[in-house]
Chain A
Amino acid sequence: MASRDTAAFAEFVEARSRPLFRAAYLMVGDHALAEDLLQEALTKTYVAWPRLRDVSKAEAYTRKAITTTAISWWRRKAWKNERPRGDLPDVGRDASTDEVDQRDWLWQELQNLAPKQRAAIVLRYYEDLTEAQTAEALGVTVGTVKSQVSDGLRKLRSILGPDVMLVANEPDGMAVGR
C-alpha cells in the first residue's frame, strides 16, 4: 500500500464496504444517505491510501471519515436533535407485551439522539470499539466519549424505563434490570 494502488483499494472496498455501510446506516438511518456517506468516506480514504499502509488502518480511517462527515452533514442540514413524537410507549410498559413496537420505537429514538451521541453509541455498542478507539474516530477525548454515551443511554433509558437492559456494562447508576 505504499502507492495509490487502485487494485488493492478496490479489494479493500469489496471486502469491507458492507460492514462499513452498516455502521453508516445506523448513524444516519437512511439507506440512500448511508450510501452517499460511505461513497464520500471511501473517496477520502482513497486520497489517503498511500499513507494508510495496512487494511486495518484503512478501515479505521474510513470509519473516522464516516463519523466526522456524518456529523458535519447533520450540522450543515441543521437536523433536529429531538423531533417530537406522539406515539411513544408508556414508561414502564411491559416490554414483552409489545416487543416489536418497543424495538421500532427504540430505533426511532436512536435516530432522534444528538448526532454525536448516536455516533458514539453506534461505535461503542455496534462496532464494539473501545472508548479510546471511539474517541479517535470522533475526534474527541475519551472523557467526551464517556459523557456522550452516558447522556445518550440516559435519554433512551428515561423513556424506556428501568427494566430493560439496553447494553451490558452500562455506565454506573444507569442500568437496573440485570
Chain B
Amino acid sequence: MSELLKDVMQERAAAAGGPHLDLDAIVSNGNKRVRRNRVVVGVVATAAVIAAVFAVPAVVDHDSVGQRNLQPVTPKPAFETRTATYAIDTTIYYGDDPIDVSPHVVSSLVQTDNGFVFTSPEGDQQGVYWTNAVDTVRIGATNQAAGTMLAADDSGPYVEWVDTDANPLPEFVVFDTSTGKEIARTSEGNKPAARQTDEFELPVVHAIDGETAYWHSSAGTVAYDLAKGTQQLVMPHTSPAYLFDVANGLFAHASFDDLASAVTTTMSAERPVIQGVSPVLSPNGTYVATTWQQSLRISDVATQRDLTPQARDYQTVLLTQWIDDFTYAAVGTTGGNIYRGEVDSLVCSVPDGRCLVENEQIGSLDRLVFPVGGSITDR
C-alpha cells in the first residue's frame, strides 16, 4: 500500500522544479553581514589567542564573486537588538537565526552588543567563549560554585566572570567584546578557596550597569569603576545572594521581609518593598520582574503596582530576558510543572498588558539555556 502523505509530498516537490537563486546577492549580503558581525580586534595586547583567531579570517576572508573589503568598519553593533533567545546543546537561537557554536555545548549564556558570551563544560571547569556568529573564541575559564556564571548589562559590550582557578587568588574578569580585550582583572577582596569559611566569602559576579561592574568578593558587595579601574566596597559582609540586578543606578536586592525584594538607590536601603523574589530590572529601571507564587510578577518600580501582563492559558511564566524597557521574553506552560514539561516561548508587553506566543514547545527547562548568565531554574 502506498503512503499517501509521502507520495503527495514527493509529487508536489518534484512538480515545484528548481529555484532561481541570485548567488551574487547571497554572497554580497553574506559579506555585509560578516563585516557587520565581525568585531575589529585591532591591537590586542592581553589576549594573544584572540588576536590570532580573529586576525586569520580577516586575512583569508576573500571571495571571487563579491568585492573584497578588509577596511575596518564599526557601524552599529551587530547584536545590539535583544530578542527572544535561547540555546540548546551547541546552537544559540537568536530570534530566527541559529548560531552554531559546536563542538561547544552551551551551559550558560549572556548577550552583549557584539555577540554572545557563553560557558561550556571542560572537564571540571567551564570554558568561557565569545561568538559573533562568524567566529567563536575562547576568552577564559571559570568554575564558580554558585550564582550566575556570567553577567552582562542590558546593552553594551561588557561581560564579567570569576576566574576561580587563578593563582593565588580567584580573580574577577571584565571583558570588552567591542575590542576583544580584558579591561579588568582583580583579586582584591578575595580569599583563597581553601580559606573561604562559608558561602558569604564566595566570589560571585552580579551585574554590570553602564561603566560599573558589580560583584561579591570575600569582603562583600563591590562596585568596580571600569573607566578608572578602581573599586569600592559598597556593602560589607553581604550574602552573595543579596544583590540580584543593577540597572540605571537602581539596585534590585533581597528584602528582609519574607518573599519580597527591594529596589533602591542605595544598597543598604530596605524600602520600598516589592512582592516576589529574584528581582530583575528592566533596562531603564521602570519595571522589575520578580518570582511570586511560582510565577512571574511585573511591578512598577515607582508605585510598586502589579502590572503583570496577561498570559492567557499560561499557568506558570518565567522571565528569560528584558528585550527593552517595556517588553520582555518569557517561557510559560499551560499546565503541569514548568520544571518538567515542555515550555512555550512568549514575548510580553507591559504597556499593552498582554503576551504573544513566539514559539511553541521549544523544549524542557533542564535542556534550555537562556541569556541570564546561569540556570533559569536557580533564580
Chain A interface (Cβ < 8 Å from any Cβ of B): 2-4, 6-7, 9-10, 13, 17-18, 21-23, 25-26, 31, 34-35, 38-39, 42-44, 46-52, 61, 64-65, 68-69, 71-73, 75, 95, 102-103, 106-107, 110, 114, 116, 121-122, 125-126, 136, 139-141, 143-144, 147-148, 153, 156, 164-168, 177-178
Contact = CB atoms under 8 A, between A and B. Distances in A.
Nearest to B3: A167
Given A17-B21, A25-B13, A166-B3, A43 B26 contact: yes
Interface centre among A4, A9, A18, A65 (most CB of B within 10 A): A4
A46 B11 CA distance: 30
B67 to A, nearest CB: 12
Nearest to A19: B13
A68 B57 contact: no
Contacts of A153: 5
9 contacts: A10-B23, A25-B16, A31-B17, A35-B20, A43-B30, A43-B33, A52-B100, A68-B93, A139-B93
Given A51-B100, A72-B96, A126 B26 contact: no
A19 B14 CA distance: 9
Interface string B42-80: 000000000000000100111111100000000000000
Contacts of A167: 3, 5-6
Interface string B88-101: 10010101111110
A122 B88 CA distance: 22
Contact of B60 (A3, A71, A121, A140): A3
Interface of A is mostly: helix
A140 B363 contact: yes
Nearest to A175: B3
Contacts of B93: 68, 139
A13 B21 contact: yes
A139 B26 contact: no
Interface centre among A13, A48, A52, A107 (most CB of B within 10 A): A48
B194 interface: no
B361 interface: yes
Nearest to B356: A75
Given A42-B26, A125-B6, A167-B6, A34 B97 contact: no
Interface string B1-35: 11111111111111011111111011101100110
A6 B216 CA distance: 49
Nearest to B18: A18
A178 B98 CA distance: 39
Contact of B4 (A61, A68, A75, A103): A103
A34 B16 contact: yes
A77 to B, nearest CB: 13
B19 A18 contact: yes
Nearest to A20: B19
Interface in B345-364: 358-364
B133 interface: yes
Contact of A68 (B16, B29, B30, B98): B98
Contact of B361 (A23, A50, A68, A140): A140
A48 B21 CA distance: 19
Contacts of B2: 165
Nearest to A44: B97
Given A6-B66, A34-B16, A50-B57, A166 B5 contact: yes
B119 interface: no
Nearest to B11: A103
B271 interface: no
A147 B361 contact: yes
A16 B375 CA distance: 39
Given A43-B33, A47-B34, 18 more contacts: A3-B62, A6-B64, A21-B19, A25-B16, A39-B22, A43-B29, A43-B30, A50-B135, A51-B136, A64-B91, A95-B4, A106-B5, A139-B98, A140-B363, A148-B361, A164-B4, A165-B1, A166-B4
A75 B347 CA distance: 12
B134 to A, nearest CB: 6
